[in-house]
Amino acid sequence: MTDQVAAFKLALGNYPTGVTVVTTSHETKPIGLTVNSFASVSIDPLLILWSLDKNSQLHSYFTNASHFAVNILASDQEHLCTLFASKIPDRFAQAQWSTSSLGLPILHDTAAILQCKTFQQIDAGDHTIFIGHVQDITNGQKEPLLYHRRHIGQIPKSFYS
């Protein structure tokens, strides 16, 4: 690894982000993976983005999907972050989930869920950026899970003081 790549990873690892599991379906089979490269794009229309490494085994499922869901994990869902970041073949067998009215696999008890129609895909180096047009929003009552310096956890209570 070059010094520039190491410095890049260190700098971005020092930027705290939320943790999501992005899901879709392929021939009724649920597909999902942990993603922290998630951001809002536009209010009018409602657009969000996330990115995926082109070498991911799940890349083709998402490039061919017309819809996907962004499940924003709650602070007590660290196990789902780890599960969907793993190579376990049937991750959904170990998670509580259901199929939404839009036909997408959605996880239970999350901080929020954004169900999206694929709006655009952008080639970006070794990743693809997926832009989704938000079709449905579900807000939970839980605090979000955070990722910072290769650690996952909740917002410290002192943050609210």
d(CA 86, CA 25): 18
With tokens 């410290």, the residue in question is 156
Please, what are the averages of pLDDT over each run of 10 residues along the chain (161 residues)? 81 80 96 95 97 97 98 97 94 97 97 98 97 97 85 68 55
Cβ-based neighbour number of residue 155 at 10 Å: 13
pLDDT value at position 158? 61
| Angle, alpha carbons 144-146-152 (nearest 5°) | 125
The tokens for 98 are 């259901």
Amino acid 60 reads: S
The pTM assigned to this predicted structure is 0.92
d(CA 83, CA 86): 5
- Enumerate residues 6+ apart whose C-beta is below 8 A from 25: 31, 65, 99, 103, 104, 105
The tokens for 78 are 């660290």
Q: How many residues does the chain have?
A: 161
Q: How far out from the chain centre does Cα 115 lie?
A: 12
Cβ-based neighbour number of residue 44 at 10 Å: 5
Domains recognised in the chain with CATH numbers:
20-160 (2.30.110.10)
Residue 49 dihedral angles phi and psi, to the nearest 5°:
-140, 160
pLDDT value at position 133? 98
The tokens for 139 are 């807000």
d(CA 91, CA 68): 17
